[in-house]
Structure 1
Amino acid sequence: MFFVPFLIMLREGLEAALIVVLIASYLKKTGQQQWMKAVWLGVFSAAIACFGLGLFIEHTTGEFPQQQQELFEGIVAVVAVVMLTYMMFWMQNASKHIGKDIQTALDGAIGQQNGQAKALVFMVFLAVAREGLESVFFLIAAFSQDVGVMAPLGAVTGVVTAVIVGFVLYFGGIRLPLAAFFRWTAVFILFVAAGLAAGAIRAFHEAGLWNEYQDIAYHFGTIISTHSLFGTVLQGLLGYQEAPTDSEVFVYCLYLIPALVAFSVRALATKRVYPSHQ
């Protein structure tokens, strides 16, 4: 399970990197580069806070009895689904005017009579921490389903790649097709979130909270086994299970179908409002 954490962290990292690049570029253009120390302080403070939160949650869950650990993993999966969904639709809505919003917030923070540095640090901290918190809950949910080294390796590789792309964008002035990247990864991540939702209902069953509709909906083990390479890839990418229960299939579809419809409707509305950007 390398690709899913890699892509999630690449996307999350790129969102955070784009915010920092926009702030840094604005400060550079307006001759206010003395505030860059405050920007970096906000970035590193958010990264340390998110990393510390992740370590704390990971450490404490290992001390739970099995049933409580399953309950916790189910709750974390639900939180990850909510945050991933929010991330998708927020980015879809904010992508057309995020630059202007950041410039307005920067003017407000720097324009204060007192505490300009504190205001700027806090603003950057919140912007980066929002992306980091989404990543923390997703990674905890993902790591609970995969105990190998590939998932952490994919996450670290995604973050490193996002940082490199951020530096290239800032110092090289290169324009990448980010709109297409975010659009297609958004659709993919909705499938990932659907798989997490199904995994949450499975965890709640193992915790003893949900025992309805536990009949096997279908068994595709002889066609695509999760022990095969292709089945493992499908399991990691789309939450595929070779023998899911009725409740898992229902929750998967209950989330995915409305989410895809809502995303498509909003995408079409955006095309009508911003035809020149497509």
Structure 2
Amino acid sequence: MFANYLIGLREGLEASLIVCILVAYLVKTGNRHRLPPVWAGVGIAVALSLAFGALLQFGSSTLTFRAQEILGGSLSVLAVGLVTWMVFWMRRTARHLTSELRGKLDAALTLGTGALVLTSFLAVGREGLETSLFIWTAVQAGGDGLRPLLGALLGLATAVVLGRLFYQGAVRINLAGFFRWTGAMLVVVAAGVLAYGVHDLQEGDVLPGLHTLAFDIGDTVPPDSWYGTLLKGVFNFQPDPTVLQVVVWLLYLVPVMAFFLAPERRRPAVPTGRAAGEASTG
């Protein structure tokens, strides 16, 4: 439940911040009357994300067991890829997100209502589709649809409340630091989802080694114990993983975490004005 709460909070907060930036900029620039197209784009994005989640859930239930395993494993790998890209993108652009969105909104204002709807739809829709896919794969990995889903909904609700507080100026936090450390936790969650996806693909006869276990500590950490449930919910821990699952988990987690936590390289300042002219003639 905690892992899915974190997913809902992280992804939902990104979408909430985007909406807050769009709305606040229109209000401050005297374009309050242009808010309805923005909210229309947000509504369409939310509806599309919900429809996508429903399609994943009900569409997969009509498949055979092997097809379900192949679909679940493939979507798990895709979700991990998208989330990995997302956490690195947000780490790189968190400091400049406001100016980037304002630039897009300025361009949309000159083009008209349809451009405003499209801008808000694209800004929120990407987050919504990623959230639906990753929550679905995490729920499948957890094996208990109710509690993971409840955790995700609580995370999204918290994100909406925080977004409102951000808009009102009641909450100020270091967003770069927030996204950095929640991103690191999501990398750990994603590693577990990836290992689960590999197991699904092994059960679907796409990957070999289903019966080649790395270890089996089911007697030491029973899956139905409180600590086994906790490890399963937070890290997608499995007491009897295959060798391939462990190898893939390590090959993903170690390098991705190292790159993610490594200090960012600062770009050298570009010389301007007189200094630039002197540098070019020296």
TM-score using structure 2 length: 0.90
C-alpha offsets along residues 150-182 of structure 1, whole Å, 9 cap, x if unaligned? 111111111111111111111244313333321
2:275 is matched with which residue?
A: none
2:160 is matched with which residue?
A: 163
**1:233 shift after superposition:** 1.3
Which one-letter code corresponds to 1:130 in the other structure? R
Asked if residue 269 in structure 1 is aligned to residue 267 in structure 2, the reply is no
Find 1:244's aligned residue among 236, 241, 261. 241
**1:26 shift after superposition:** 1.0
Looking at structure 1, the residues matched to 100 and 174 of structure 2 have their Cα atoms a distance apart, in angstroms, of 21
Asked if residue 195 in structure 1 is aligned to residue 170 in structure 2, the reply is no
Partners of 2:105 and 2:116 within 8 A in 1 = yes
Output aligned runs, 1:73-222, within 5 Å: 73-112=72-111, 116-145=112-141, 146-212=143-209, 214-222=211-219
Looking at structure 2, the residues matched to 134 and 49 of structure 1 have their Cα atoms a distance apart, in angstroms, of 12
C-alpha offsets along residues 161-212 of structure 1, whole Å, 9 cap, x if unaligned? 1111111111244313333321111111101111111111100111111123
**1:31 shift after superposition:** 1.0
Partners of 2:61 and 2:68 within 8 A in 1 = yes
Looking at structure 1, the residues matched to 43 and 195 of structure 2 have their Cα atoms a distance apart, in angstroms, of 34
**1:10 shift after superposition:** 0.8
Looking at structure 2, the residues matched to 107 and 141 of structure 1 have their Cα atoms a distance apart, in angstroms, of 37
Partners of 1:81 and 1:197 within 8 A in 2 = yes
1:60 is matched with which residue?
A: 59
C-alpha offsets along residues 92-124 of structure 1, whole Å, 9 cap, x if unaligned? 111121111111111111022xxx111011011
Secondary structure at the aligned position of 1:244 is classed as coil
2:222 is matched with which residue?
A: 225
Which one-letter code corresponds to 1:263 in the other structure? F
Partners of 1:109 and 1:120 within 8 A in 2 = yes
2:272 is matched with which residue?
A: none
Write out the 4+ residue segments of structure 1 that deviate beyond 6 Å after TM superposition.
none
**1:222 shift after superposition:** 3.3
Which blocks of at least 5 consecutive residues in structure 2 are unaligned?
Answer: 269-282
Partners of 1:54 and 1:136 within 8 A in 2 = yes
Partners of 1:191 and 1:239 within 8 A in 2 = no
Secondary structure at the aligned position of 1:78 is classed as helix
Looking at structure 2, the residues matched to 12 and 177 of structure 1 have their Cα atoms a distance apart, in angstroms, of 17
Q: How many residues align?
A: 267
Higher-Rg member (1/2): 2
Find 1:256's aligned residue among 253, 256, 263. 253
Secondary structure at the aligned position of 1:100 is classed as helix
